[in-house]
Amino acid sequence: MARFDSRLMSNTRQAVTGGLANKRQTLTSPLFVDVTGTANDTYYFGKLPKGAVITGGKIYSGRLASGTCPSSCCVELVLGVDQILANVSGTTYSVASCTSALGHFGPINYATATSSNPNGNQSEAGYQAPLGGLLLSQGPLTVTVDGTSVFGTLVVAAGNGSGISGYLTIDVDYITGTYT
């Protein structure tokens, strides 16, 4: 399993923040996905500051596979964070449960114009979906550790089709909190 970092994940780069509390911001990070890699490659998109309240977002990409799923090539993506999150009532979620806190997408079948996925908005040209997971079931989630990384684990399962390298972009909407 390899690790790939976007430009927002540099060791010298701090968490994305504008300084003022209660300011709405979006972490937007395009990342090139090389599907010739191994299964379960991890892609890091960016960092969030402590106190940030994740309110929503979306994921979108070009076509990352050819063929018909599942007999051919499928793409699955799991989005999460690498630190503990808390919901509005103060319940915290362990790092293990946060690895898919922003959603599990797939298997994505790029060969069809419509989808059996709940969001039903994929096409032969690409994929777009709102964030889900704990964010959807538990409401806004608060970042508890400064520099919390947003990452995705991508699985390209090839059958008769093949993976296609391209860009995957994530938008994470959040409101800056008070730093405590």
Q: What single-letter amino acid sits at 90?
A: G
Tokens 């399962």 appear where?
A: 157
Distances (CA, A) of 114 to 2, 125, 154, 159, 171: 32, 11, 22, 21, 23
**CA torsion 36→108→124→41, rounded to 10°?**
-20
Q: How far is CA 154 from CA 39, 157, 174, in A?
A: 7, 10, 23
Q: Which domains does the chain have, with CATH numbers?
A: 3-9+22-175 (2.60.120)
pLDDT in tens, 14-60: 555 555 677 888 888 888 887 665 567 788 888 888 888 999 999 88
Q: What is the pTM of this model?
A: 0.78
Q: Is the pLDDT of residue 161 over 70?
A: no
Q: Quick: pLDDT tens for 89-114.
A: 999 999 888 988 998 887 776 665 55
